[in-house]
Structures are given as structure tokens and as C-alpha cells.
Amino acid sequence: MEFSSFTSIQKLAALLLVLEADNAAKLMAQLEEHELEAVSAEMVKMTMLSQETQHDLLREFSTVAVEAASSVQGGAGRAKGLLEKSVGTYRAADIIGRVSPQQPSVAAMDQIVEMDTRQVFNVLRHEQLQTVALVVSYLPPDKASQMLSLVRPDLRGRVVERLATLAPTSIEVVESVAEELHRKLAGNRTQALSHTGGVKVAAQVLNALPKAEADSILDAIKERNADLGEEVLKKMLTFDELQGLNSKTLQKIMQEVDMRTLAVALKTASDALKKAMLSCISKRAAENVREEISFLGSIKAKEVEDAQSEIIATVRRLEGDGEIDLDEIRQKPRF
């Protein structure tokens, strides 16, 4: 770009780059916020000032007693350094963040970034932390913080740690990750559309509400449709979710459960759930339950479901009596 076509802001930006850093910083400290932002934006764009441009600049600013001997480095790094000297680290980072070029645009990633925060979370909820960190690095800070608030507390720190140590990633890798996420999203779209709404979804919504509010809504449903209310109630707490209860709560529940019923209920349960529930009864009782499970052989799914429903009914009764608290399940974020 020819010096003759420079605007006044561009000339000032060029002059600040030519001046010794401390002197430039003193001048920048006199500028208003909007002026700082405008000048900084031009400084960022000027990656290099030729010797000829410097001579033209200094001829115009005849009072500047600086001899231009070589090319002068510009760019974001130089602009940031001068800003930090003049307005401090925090304001410098804020201004550079607004005027610097953003990460290279990747079309596939842009589509994810433009999604609603909850949609981004749903896309990433089953991905590796490195992938989560990569996508978060492309989100605006406010959106990134909203997305992280949906992540389980024990994982948030790990995501931020990965984000902080994320190495520069090639466009090819970013495109590959984004396209893979889109493929997974497309593969799940048909299923998601066919399962929109329903008793299970209604139960999940109620589970996310405060207990008093959820109970009030459920009572209103039961008044209008008792059968529907009962179906929603059954889905509000699944048998698998009992694994999320602490050992003290599980011990209270196990005291009220028949061991034969427990054996049937655990027949198809995960090893983690079996371990959680059997660790809350005596060693001898646990051995008896395991032995009972092994003797059950083939069993109808309906029998297992009925046994699990019986235990869930016990759990709800204990909650209603105030003997246990299920908030630790209801409030636990999922990721």
C-alpha cells in the first residue's frame, strides 16, 4: 500500500510502530478508547513497514527525530506490546481481542459455532476432552463459558486444562474433526426426530426442575390423566440412576428391599450398578444375591422391569417420608 493513500489513522499507526516502544506507549496513553481501538486495528494489519514508507512517514512528521534504517516489524505482537505499555495488560488483551484477526475460518466448524449453546453441548457430550477443547477454542468467550457451565463440574477443569495447553492445530485437522462431528449429528438426526417428546422426555424435564415445582406439575397431570401421570412418574427416576446415590442413601434403600427382588432387578444391570448396590449390604447377603442371579437363568424382560419398578417405588416412598434425598441425582449434570 502506497504511503500517499494512507489515512490519518494509518499514518498514526505507522508512526507508533516506527517510534521506540516507550515513546509510542506514552502517545497511545493519550488516546481515547475508540481511538486506541482504531489505531490498534491498523497496527495489527501492518505486518511490515518498508524503508521507503518509513522515509515518507518521517518526512511528513518532520518533528520526529528518528532515522529509518531498516524495515520495522508490525503485527499483533508489536501492537499488543505497545498497548500493554500504555494501557496495561488487561485492556491490551481486550483491545487486541477485538481487532486481531480471528482463527482461520473453517466452514464446517463455523456451522457448529453458530449453533445454540445447548446444541453445541449435545454435539460434544460424548466426545474426547481434546475434541471438546478444540471446539471451545473456536467459540466466543461468552458462549464458551455457557457451554462449559453445562459440563459436569469434575470435567470442567480438565476441559479448560486441555484448552490452555492446546497446540496450534492445522486447518486440515480442524476440518476433519468438524466434519466428523457433522456426520455423527446427521446420523443421530433421524432418531432424534422420531423420538421428540414422549413420556421419557417429559420425565427428564420434570427431573431437571426443583422437587416442589416438579411435584406440583405432576399432581396436575395426574388430576387430568392418572395413567399418564403414573407413566411419567415411573420414568422420572430410572433404576440405572440409583448408581448416582451415595452409599448412605443406598443402604437405607437396601434395608427396605427384598433380596429376591433385588436379584431379579440386577439380572441385566451394569457391573457398576451391581457393585454400587451390593456394596451397601452385608458381604453374606451380597454373596446370596449373586448366587441367586446366577440361578435365575433366562428371565423375561417384564419380570426384570417389574422388580426394578418395585425398588423405584420403595425409593419414592422413602423420599416421600423424608428419609432419603434424591436431589443429588436430579441436580447432577450429564456430559
Q: Mind listing the pLDDT tens digit for each residue in 120-130?
A: 888 888 888 88
Q: What is the CA radius of gyration of the chain?
A: 31
CATH 3.40.50 fits 197-236, yes or no: no
Domain range 107-194, CATH class? mainly alpha
Is there a contact between 318 and 285 (Cβ–Cβ < 8 Å)? no
CATH architecture of 239-335: Orthogonal Bundle (1.10)
Average pLDDT, the chain: 76
Segment 18-26 shows an average pLDDT of: 76
d(CA 309, CA 235): 10
Per-residue pLDDT reduced to its tens digit, 76-116:
555 656 666 665 654 555 555 555 544 555 666 777 888 88
Q: For the residues 272-293, what does the mean pLDDT come to?
A: 92
Q: What is the pTM of this model?
A: 0.38
Note the residue count of the chain.
Answer: 335
Is pLDDT of 57 > 70?
A: yes
Q: Enter the C-alpha cell of residue 103.
A: 482463527
Return contacts of 265-268, CB within 8 angstroms, 24+ apart. Answer: 265/239, 265/304, 265/307, 265/308, 265/310, 265/311, 266/293, 267/293, 267/296, 267/299, 267/304, 268/301, 268/304
Q: What percentage of residues in the chain have a pLDDT greater than 90?
A: 13
Mean of the pLDDT values across residues 287-300? Answer: 89
CB half-sphere exposure, 61, CA atoms < 13 A:
20
- For residues 160 and 136, give the distance between their C-alpha atoms in angstroms, rounded to a whole number: 9
Work out the pLDDT band at 191, boundaries 50, 70, 90.
Answer: very low
* Dist. CA 261–CA 277, nearest whole Å: 13
Give the residue extent of every domain in the chain: 3-99, 107-194, 197-236, 239-335
C-alpha separations of 82 from 11, 41, 91, 97 in Å = 16, 13, 12, 15
Nearest in space to 277 (alpha carbons), one of 306, 315, 313? 315
Buried b (16+ CB within 10 A) or exposed e, 96-112: beebbeeeeebeebeeb
Q: Let me know if the fold of 107-194 is the same as that of 197-236.
A: no
User: Phi and psi at residue 10, in whole multiples of 5°?
Assistant: -65, -40
Q: Specify whether the CB–CB gap between 147 and 121 falls below 8 A.
A: yes
Stretch 219-243: mean pLDDT = 82
Exposure string for 37-61, b = 16+ CB within 10 A, e = fewer: ebbbbbbbbbeebeeebbebbbeeb
pLDDT band at 194; cut points 50, 70, 90:
very low
